[in-house]
Structure 1
Amino acid sequence: MPELFNAADWLVDRQVDEGNGGRTAVVTPTRSLTYGELAEGPISGSSWKAPRVARHSGTARSARWAL
């Protein structure tokens, strides 16, 4: 593993690069997000996107996420 590892690149951007941008990446009680939406949406631009996804998805702060 490289010294600096960006998990968002591996977990999200790689999926878009491999043509999977339309596949569902996150499902919450209120909405679903695709890999493309995570990469391009209003929550992009973060070096680690999961906290922003959680905040904008309507899930409880104490909810657990599996990646």
Structure 2
Amino acid sequence: MLTQTLRAMERNGLIQRVVHPVVPPIVEYSLTQLGQTLVEPVHMLQNWAYEHLQEVSQARMAYDQE
């Protein structure tokens, strides 16, 4: 699943994949310029999740009790 996600991100131009020709192979990923534009929105989502952690936890417990 991780490989599929990384390949999709690479295909969409969000990350760059570099394979170093050593044994064992080393693969390095980095954000492209386009990928960098997602850093701020992802941080905003992270902050939202942290601020609403209690509410999400309560919603999960209520759902699981049904």
Give me the TM-score of the superposition, normalised by structure 1: 0.25
Report which structure shows greater RCO (CA 8 Å, sep ≥6): 1
Larger % of helix: which? 2
Give me the TM-score of the superposition, normalised by structure 2: 0.25
